[in-house]
Every structure is written in C-alpha cells, then in structure tokens.
Structure 1
Amino acid sequence: MESSVAVTLIGAPTDVGAGARGASMGPEALRVAGLAEALRALGLDVIDRGNLHGPANPWQPAHGGYRHLPEVAAWNRAVHDAVRAELRAGRVPILLGGDHSLAIGSIGAVARHCREQGRKLRVLWLDAHADFNTCAITPSGNLHGMPVAVLCGFGPPELVELGGSGAALRPTEVRQIGIRSVDAGEKRFVHAQRLEVYDMRYIDEMGMRATMEQALAGLDEQTHLHVSFDVDFLDPEIAPGVGTTVPGGPTYREAQLCMEMIADTGRLASLDIVELNPALDERNRTARVAVELVESLFGKSTLMREHQVRRRG
C-alpha cells in the first residue's frame, strides 16, 4: 500500500456479545503490543481515537434467543458512527475489539458508505467460525456467533437496520476463510444462503495461495475491501489468547501469506481485529502475532520482492 495511507484506531472494549469474559481488554493489549508504532514504521499516518464507551456487560442469560441484545445494540451504534466518520474523512478505520458482534456496526457503516459512494463491497471474514447463527438455531444466544447472519438481514431489527433500512450485506459479498467450527443448524443455513466458505479442509487441499486467489478474484478499483479478522482464525498453537479456540487453524506462514496477498491487491479500506482475549493469553503473545499479521496486511513483506531488487539495482 502507498505510504500516504491514513489509518485510525478505534477501541471498542467490550465482551458483551461473547460467551467468555476478557475480550474487553483486547484494544489495550494491541496497543501494548505496539500496533500504532508498527504501522507508523511502515510510513502510515496513524491516529488513535482512544476507546468508545458503552454499557457494561450485565452477564445475564439469553432472553428471546439473544444475550445482552440492548447492550450489543448500544455498542454497535457507537462503532457504526465512529467507523462512518473515519470513512467520510477518507481514512482507513481499524476497529480494535472487543468481541466479533461489533462487526455488525463496523461493516454496517462500511456497507452504508459503499452505497453512498456507489462502490462495490467485498468482505473477507477470517475466522474459525461462520458466525451465521440466528436466535432460532443458536446454542447459546451469544451475539458474537451471529454477526454475518445479522448483516445479511437475519436478526433483530435494532441490529439489522443499524446502518440503514434492509440488510447491509448480500451473501455474495462475503468470503469466509479458515472456518472449522460450525453448529449443525448453522451449517444448513450457510448452505441455504449459498455463503462462500473456504474452510480448513479446502485450505488443506488447495493451499492458501489458491484459496486467496479465489477469495480475492474480481476485485477492481471500484471495490472496497473490508477484512474482519477474528484472532481465533489462527491455530491456537500460535494464538492461544482467544475465548473460543479451535485446533487446526492456519499456521503462522499460511496466515502471513493470506495477509500479504490481501495487501498485494492494494484495496484494503477497513479492518476489524476482534476476539483477542488477554486474560487467556501468554504474556501478550497473541497480540504480538496479531500486530505482525496486521503489518503484513498493510504491506510489510517477509521477503524482498523482485521489483524492490530492480529498484536497488
């Protein structure tokens, strides 16, 4: 990416949509791991807006199929407004979560911005989970398992219509990568909606390069690329600090290749980093890995490329 890229960090310190406590500490862990400094070292213009504010986690059981719906809605309204403001200012918003339910507000704002600008949208959902549950099929009621379904129009009105009337996304605008844990009812719903899913078996068989070539196919200069990066996308061997670990995720190098290929498109325009749980981490190791991957997402490559060699010659 070009060095003139301007990014804004927006903290959303809540675990109100999750089934385990601790993701509320994620934004600070990413700051401690040096996210802003790492991006500045790449030549980016970085502003940290600090943390948004919202209701505390009441830690109550599900009601009507949803846990903490009013609180999740309040946090997502704050996220939506903050992300939308940065997009209108021509900056790249980076949401520091917090749990993955916050993507409802973040992607809702991105989708609204794209509609207003007449741009196409592509969402890469990097996650161990499909997050396509509804109140009728959820085993837990935790809203961090529902954001993709909500964004596609399947959910309570106060979340579905957060970014305007109607669904924020069409299933054809989403590519899910790294999936390896899907609930039984959710699996049927994913198939029914024809969601494009590159699960771990696909990655094992085809390799990360072919997977990303397919997931990124068709991007053009009119496409806004949003990456929603759930840290549990990574194998827990390298990223233990998440509330819902699922073995068998991408290795460090596979994850780096994924990020580098996204960077190569030059289209990244907004980002979520979610579900980092320092309470379950080892000396902030997962946050440091996340920062390294985000560096790659913004153009830092492991190896010197041929065009760099030619420039030096």
Structure 2
Amino acid sequence: MKVIKIPFGGGGLGHGDGAKDAPDKIQEQLHDLHANEAGIKPNFEFEEIEVDNFKIEASHNNIYKKILTLKEKSIILGGDHSISYPCFKAFASNNKNAGIIVFDAHPDLMDKVGIDSQEDWLRSLISEGIVDKNKVIVIGVRNSDRIETDFADENRLSIYYMNKIFEYKIENICEAVMEKIRKWENVYLSVDIDAVDPAFAPGTGYKEPGGFTSRELIYFIQRLNKLNNIKMIDIVEVNPSLDVADLTSKLAAKIM
C-alpha cells in the first residue's frame, strides 16, 4: 500500500509545530511491527510531499496536486489536521459522492480566519460544498466551542460525543456508523490521534482526557476496515516532541 508522508505543522496554530516530525517517526516505529493482528506483514511504499511550514497556502496546493494523482487506496501520514482539507478536496475530485469519517476530540468547525487550520478545516469542506453535510461523521468529540456546536446543530451533522459513545456502548455506535457509511460510494477516514485518551497517546498538541483507549480505537477502525468503500486514510496530530516513550508514534504505526 502507498503511504504519503506530509511533514507539515504550519496549520497547527502553534500547537502543531512538532507534528512535522511525525511521518518519519511513525515510519521508524514500523520497523518493530513484524506483522499486523491478522498475521500479515505490512508492505508499504513511502513517498513524501514537499511542504514549507511557513508557506501554508503553497503547501496545501502541493498536497492537493499530489493527492489528486493517487488512484489506489493510500495512507497519509501528517502532519497537523489542516492537511485533511487539501487531501479530502483532492479525494473528492477523484471520487464522486465522497463522504468523510473523522475520529477527533474536537469537531474542527470553528469560523475560518484566513487560511485553513486544524481548527476549521472540516467546516471549510462543508461550507464550500466539497463534502455533503449528510456524509460527514465525527466520532469521539469531548471538547467543542459554542461556535462549533451551533454550526453542527444548524447543519444536523452526525457527531458522536464521547459520553454518548459509552452510554450506548461502543459496539452499538460502531454498528450504527457502519450501517450509515455502507451506503456511501467512497469514504475518506481521518484519524486525529487526540481522539485517544492522553494516557495512551500523550504525544499530541491538544490533550483531552476521557478519550478512547488504544484498543477501543483499533477495534473501531478494524471494524470499519471490513467495508470496501474506505479508500483513503490519514493519521494526523502526532507530535513526537511531546511523546512519552514513543507511545503515540507506536500507536499510529499500529493503526496503519
């Protein structure tokens, strides 16, 4: 499988600077991963997109152009979450009726101020009509601004808050999500590592207690992966400079 490394932290609003080092660090952790849980040794082909953390718009354009050339199922390693904007935009250009699933502690629906950042990229995709609001699912939210909740409510977005996931049980939420996206033609999966509790993934800029355990997130993704319409995956917001014993980078490698 092709893996695209995007060492970009320029859209992190000061919280994502170290995220530029994540792709190399995650790739390094793969050396210790002899086989996945199905007993299969992963076979990855790595490429890297040239970006400049001080030139956000130009970097996003480079990302868009490169992702546009991908015709096979791929994994994208960020990088801060702003990269999901050009990545999904390119994915949607190549795949009609594309939908997106996001694992994130935050809904990323703030008002856009200037360029796309990790706080508003999803709102931009919806507001610009790049993705149908009915084909957006956000899972694991446990900290959101009133601006974000108002936008989500006005657009009737499917957001699964962390407290409700445990009230209704993770297995049932997983089934509900799978039933919904099974009808979508093409799906993009975005995994912000802060969806995981910082006890398990401390290496990220926005630490939000009360998240998924590592096993719970892996369980959810393994279930989703049984569907054949998930065609692109990104893993973002890993920050090696904030990590402890490489736990977060190891988890990202495990998710791959």
Is residue 201 from structure 1 mapped to residue 163 from structure 2 by the alignment?
yes
Q: 2:50 aligns with which of 30, 33, 53?
A: 53
Residue in 2 that maps onto 1:302: none
Contact 1:12 1:53 (8 Å CA) reproduced: yes
Is the 2:79–2:238 Cα contact (8 Å) retained in structure 1? yes
- How far apart in 1 are the matches of 2:180 and 2:223? 14
Aligned to 2:84: 103
Say if 2:184 and 2:229, in contact at 8 Å, map to a contact too. Answer: no
Alignment partner of 2:153: what SS? helix
Partner of 2:118: 144
The residue that corresponds to 2:255 in the other structure is 293
| 1:169 counterpart residue number | 131
Distance in 1 between the 2:51 and 2:251 partners? 28
Alignment of 1:213-292 (within 5 A): 213-220=175-182, 223-292=185-254
Quote the residue 1:11 is aligned against.
Answer: 5
- CA shift for structure 1 position 35: 7.2
Q: Is the 8 Å Cα contact of residues 126 and 133 (structure 2) preserved in structure 1?
A: yes
Please report how far the alpha carbon of residue 36 of structure 1 lies from its aligned counterpart in structure 2 after TM superposition.
10
Q: Distance in 2 between matches of 1:78 and 1:37?
A: 31
SS in 2 for 1:130: coil
Could you tell me which residue of structure 2 aligns to residue 122 of structure 1? 99
Distance 1:288 1:192, change over 3 A: same
Q: Residues 89 and 125 of structure 2 are in contact (CA less than 8 Å); yes or no, is this contact kept in structure 1? A: yes
Aligned alpha-carbon RMSD (Å): 2.3
- 3-state SS of the aligned residue for 1:106? helix
Q: Do the aligned residues in 2 keep the contact of 1:235 with 1:246 (CA within 8 Å)?
A: yes
2:109 and 2:147 in contact (8 A); partners too: no
Could you say if the C-alpha distance between residues 127 and 275 of structure 1 is closer, same or farther in structure 2, counting changes exceeding 3 Å?
same
Shift of 1:219: 3.8
User: Match for residue 298 of structure 1?
Assistant: none
Offset of 1:210 from its aligned partner? 1.0
**CA–CA distance in structure 2, aligned partners of residues 195 and 221 of structure 1:** 17
C-alpha distance in 1 between matches for 2:160 and 2:88: 20
2:53 counterpart letter in structure 1: A
- Which letter maps to 1:256? I
For residues 269 and 38 of structure 1, the distance between their equivalents in structure 2, rounded to whole angstroms, comes to 24
8 Å contact kept, 2:116–2:124: no
Q: Partner of 2:95: helix, strand, or coil?
A: helix
Supply the AA of the counterpart residue of 1:31.
Q
Matching residue's letter, 1:53: E
TM-score after normalising by structure 2:
0.90
- Aligned 8 A contact 1:35 1:291 in 2: no
Task: Show structure 1 runs of 4+ deviating over 6 A.
Answer: none
- The residue identity in structure 1 corresponding to 2:156 is R
CA distance in 2, matches of 1:121, 1:231: 23
Q: Does 2:3 align with 1:26?
A: no
* Structure 2: gaps spanning 5 or more residues: none
Flag the 1:37–1:105 CA change in 2: closer, same or farther, 3 A.
farther
Q: Compared with structure 1, are the counterparts of its residues 188 and 219 closer, same or farther at alpha carbon in structure 2 (3 Å cutoff)?
A: closer
| Local SS of the residue matching 1:152 | helix
8 Å Cα contact 2:137-2:158 kept in structure 1: yes
Query: How far has the Cα of 1:114 moved from its partner?
Result: 1.2
Cα 1:263–1:193 change in 2 (3 A) is same
Determine the C-alpha separation between the residues in 2 that align with 1:37 and 1:77: 33
In 2, the alpha carbon distance for the partners of 1:194 and 1:175 equals 11
One-letter code aligned to 2:81: H
